[in-house]
Amino acid sequence: MRDTMDAPQPLVQVRDLKMHFPIYAGLLRRRVGEVKAVDGVSFDVMEGETLGLVGESGCGKSTCGRSVLRLYDITAGSILMDGDEIGALSQGQLRTRRPTMQMVFQDPQASLNPRMPVSAIIQEPLDEHTKLSKAEKREKVLELMDAVGLNRRFANRFPHAFSGGQRQRIGIARALALNPKFIVCDEPIAALDVSIQAQVVNLLEDLQEKFGLTYLFISHDLSMVRHIATRVAVMYLGRIVELAPREALYADPLHPYTKALLSAVPEPDPELAAKERVILTGDVPSPANPPKGCNFCTRCPAVMPVCHETDPETREVSPGRFVACHLFADEYTAAGHAPAVSQSAGQGATSSPQETLNQQGETP
């Protein structure tokens, strides 16, 4: 993340972002706690890149993406876009910034109004934010349909007449209508058939090159993230535990949780398929009652006493590579310990990363 004259500059800068949801109970609906869905997340999204955000279902990925776009009123933290503090904008000020930042939702069927034809769905942002004439809007809608690979003849059809992949293309066209700089793609392929997923990802890449887009790509599909992302951030229980360039992270994961996630990815090459799995014991803790110290200490195969007491700081262990783990603390490495992780977490595991990754949907 070091600046040079030729290096891309951050388009979005997120610092210590927190999104906590209150818990109410009893007849008087008193506040008895809070769900820490996002708890101190920091990252940059460089202009023109795709930052992948991965992790188990329920870790807070979708909540993080929605918070960055201010679809929620954030609990704390800073969100800068082009130097403007998005987190502090009023609703009126935020409305004027909406055209520059858009979202592609996970479920294309739920995110499209079933009572509106495709042309009206794509045109709705133009109605809200532009003063184009009716003819200009119509032409823009048709151009957007061409851009995402939809036949113009289908402009007056309703969403139920389209396949899942086509409905997601409608959602992408709607997101492009106002010429945004930044798009959050929230599990955009999770609800699609495997045969269609690659087509949608390739479309996103083509549109990024054509329009100079910047993506935050949220997914539990680690194989697809490896294909599309420039850098990858790994999230666990509301926090980012590792952030690194794509090839570095997949070739040599550092954090024990990243190692466990990647070991669960199916390997098509038979010669590589025999790699040893990192099996995690126990269940994911509740974000309403996270463990003391490191959030991952209850499942980590390399846990140390300090992990139960102190939350690890995020350290830059090499240029552009960040990890939040006591294995990389100065006092630990100075003592001559090698920051390595056992490839076995013991017997009697009650869950594995892949079991949770295969679930679709995000809890706050």
**What does the pLDDT look like over 233-278, one tens digit per residue?**
999 999 999 999 999 999 999 999 999 999 887 776 666 555 667 7
Q: Residue 117 and residue 157: Cα distance in Å, rounded?
A: 5
Share of the chain above pLDDT 90, in %: 70
Range with the poorest average pLDDT among 17-26, 200-209, 281-290, 319-328: 281-290
Structure tokens at 71: 């679809």
- The whole-angstrom separation of Cα 217 and Cα 71 is 17
Which position has the higher pLDDT, 139 or 108?
Answer: 139
Pairing mode, if any, of strands 50-54 and 214-218? Answer: parallel
**What's the average model confidence in pLDDT over 223-231?**
93
* pLDDT band per the 50, 70, 90 thresholds, residue 108: confident
| Confidence category of residue 157, pLDDT binned at 50, 70, 90 | very high
Closest CA to 302 of 322, 328, 321: 328
C-alpha span between 109 and 362 (Å, rounded): 17
Residue 229: C-alpha distances to residues 46, 51, 67, 203, 247 (Å): 12, 6, 21, 14, 10
Q: What amino acid occupies position 296? A: F
pLDDT at 166: 95
% of the chain exceeding 70 in pLDDT: 86
Domain ranges of the chain: 253-351
- Looking at per-residue pLDDT, the higher value among 202 and 342 belongs to 202
Cβ-Cβ contacts under 8 Å for 166 (sequence gap 6 or more): 150
Q: Are 67 and 13 in contact (CB under 8 A)?
A: no
